[in-house]
Amino acid sequence: MRLADLCAALSLPAPAENPDVSGVTHNAAWVGPGEAFVAIRGAKVDGQNFAAQAAQQGASVIFGEGWTMNEPCPLPYIQVPSARAALAELAAELQGHPSRELKVVGVTGTDGKTTTSWLALHLLRAAGLSTGLLSTVGYQLPDGELHHFPAHFTTPEAPQVQATLREIVAAGGQAAVLEASSHALALERVRAVAWDVAIWTNLTREHLDFHGTLENYFAEKRKLIERAPFAVLNADDAWTERLKLGPHVTYSAEGNVSKGNGADWQATDIQERPDGLAFNVVSPAGTFSAFLPMIGRFNVSNALGAMAAAHHLGATTQQLVAGLSSFAGVPGRMELVAGPLVGPRVIVDFAHTPPSLDKALGTLRATTTGQLIVVIGSAGGPRDPSKRAPLGEVATRLADEALFTEEDSRDTPLQDILIEMARGAREAGRNNYCIIPDRRRAIRHAVRLAGPGDTVLLAGKGPEDTLERGSVTIPWNEVQEARAALELLGEGQNT
C-alpha cells in the first residue's frame, strides 16, 4: 500500500515521499523490508532510539509522536497524536479491516473472561457460525485447533491481533470472539476492531500496579462497552449501572425471578453436580432447562453471558441448550479429565496462587463426596517466592491430602521450593502432605491414592505446554499426564 493512501485513510497529512508500506511493527528487531516502524515512547524505552536499526532492516517510514532526537530521522517521518493508536489503526488498514467482515464478540472483566470467551465461541459454532477465537489460552481458527503465539508474542500487540483476524476470515470465518483485557484496551491492542457485542463479566481489584486506581481500571475496561453497539452486562456486578450506555441486556445468576430484579437473563434452581451444573433459564429466548458440564457455580454466570451474546447474534434456544451440554471446557481451567467409569474425578486447573487455589479447592469440595486430593507446586526464580508457604497452608487446609511437587523451578533449587511449601503446612499445624519432586510421579501417586467419589485436583500448570526444570525446558501436557495416570489405574499399574 502506498504511504500517501495509508495516511489518507488515517486522516494524516500527506507525506513528501510516497514509498510502499508492506506491514507495521513497533519493535525494530521485527522490521521487515518495506514495513512501517512505529516509535512508541514507553515508560523505560523510547522507540526513537531504534530508528536507525529499523532503517537498517529495511523500514520504509517511521510514525511517532514527534521527532526529538538530535540527529535527523533516517526515514520519512509521520507525526501522529498517539503512537499506540496509530499502530492499531495502521495494522487494521494494512490488513484490510478484517473485523468488518466478521461478527465480533468482545469479553472483558476481572474474572470469567476466558471461560466466557470459550463458551461464546462454542455456542456460536453450535449456531452454525464458523468462528475463531483470541484468548489468553491461545487462538483458534475456525478449524478448532488451538494455537499459541510465538514466545516473543506472549502478549499479542495490535499487528498480531489484526493478522489473526485476517487469518480467521481467510479460513472462512464468519465470527470471532476476543478476550479483551484491561491492558489490551489501555495499550490500544484491540483498537480498530469493529465490535458487534461486548460482554461485561465483573470488576474487582486487580492490576492496580498498572492502572493506579480502581477507577482507572474501570475506565479502561469500559472502553469495550463504549465501542460496541450492543452490550451484555452482569447485573450481579455493582459497576454495571455505570455501563448502561446504549442497547444492552443484563444477566444474573444470583437474582430471584419472583422478586423481579430486572435482569433479562436469569438462572434459577441451580444444582451443582459432580458432572456439571444443571439450572433453569428465564430469558428473552424463552424459559428452558440447561446443563453445563463444568465445575463451579460461578460458571453459571459465564454461561448466561455467553448465551445472551450468542442469542443476540442469532442462536436459537435449541442451539443454546445443545451447545451448553456439549461444551468440552476450557483447556486447563477446571478441566474435567475423562477416566475409568469407576474411579476418581480428576480436574486440571491453572490455580497457582493462594487465592486461586483456595477458590478451586472450595469449589471442588462442594461436589466431592469422598477425599479431596491436590497436586501443587510453586514456580522458581523471581516469580513471587513469598507465595510458596501460603500455597502449602491453603493446600493442606482445604484438601484431605496434598502432594507438593515441581512447577517450573527454573534457577531455584527445587528442594528449596518444596521446603518452603512444607513449612507453610507445618506452621499451620498440618501434616497431611507428602513431597514427590517429580510431577509425573506425583500425579500418578495422587490418582492411585484416590477412589470412587474422590476428586484429584492437578493445580498450577493448566494449559501450559512446557515444564521448566532448572535450565532445561521439556514438553508438558497436564491433561495427557492425567489421562495416562487414569489409564494405568484402570490397568492396575499406577506406580
Q: Torsion angle, CA of 319/198/160/173, rounded to 10 degrees?
A: 30
Q: Which helix (H) or strand (E) holds 224?
A: helix 214-227
| Assigned fold of 3-94 | 3.40.1390
Separation in Å, CA 357 to CA 254, 332, 339, 363, 415: 23, 14, 23, 10, 21
Enumerate the CATH 3.90.190.20 domain ranges in the chain, comma separated. 335-491
> Rounded distance, CA 267 to CA 210, Å?
35
Spell out the residues 6+ positions from residue 67 whose beta carbon is closer than 8 angstroms to its own.
48, 73, 77, 79
> Rounded distance, CA 51 to CA 41, Å?
12
Tens of pLDDT along the chain (495 residues) come to 999 999 999 999 888 899 999 999 999 999 999 999 999 998 788 999 999 999 999 999 999 999 999 999 999 999 999 999 999 999 999 999 999 999 999 999 988 899 999 999 999 999 999 999 998 888 999 999 988 887 656 568 999 999 999 999 999 999 999 999 888 998 999 999 999 999 999 987 655 666 678 888 899 999 999 999 999 999 999 999 999 999 999 999 986 554 445 799 999 999 998 889 999 999 999 999 999 999 889 999 999 999 999 999 999 999 999 999 999 888 888 898 865 556 899 999 999 989 889 999 999 999 899 999 999 999 998 767 889 999 999 999 999 999 999 999 999 999 999 999 999 999 999 999 999 999 999 999 999 999 999 999 999 999 888 999 988 999 999 999 999 999 998 777 655
| Assigned fold of 335-491 | Protein-Tyrosine Phosphatase; Chain A (3.90.190)
The pLDDT score that the predictor gives to residue 207 is 59
| Assigned fold of 98-325 | UDP-N-acetylmuramoyl-L-alanine:D-glutamate ligase (3.40.1190)
The pLDDT score that the predictor gives to residue 71 is 93
The pLDDT score that the predictor gives to residue 88 is 97
Enumerate the CATH 3.40.1390.10 domain ranges in the chain, comma separated. 3-94
Spell out the residues 6+ positions from residue 85 whose beta carbon is closer than 8 angstroms to its own.
188, 191
- In degrees and rounded to multiples of 5, residue 133 shows phi and psi of -150, 140
Separation in Å, CA 112 to CA 116, 303, 438, 457: 6, 10, 32, 20
The pLDDT score that the predictor gives to residue 430 is 97
Separation in Å, CA 118 to CA 172, 178, 193, 324, 438: 19, 9, 19, 11, 32
Any alpha helices (H) in 135-202, and if so which ranges? 158-170, 182-186
Enumerate the CATH 3.40.1190.10 domain ranges in the chain, comma separated. 98-325
By C-alpha distance, which of 233, 491, 211, 138 is closest to 340?
A: 491
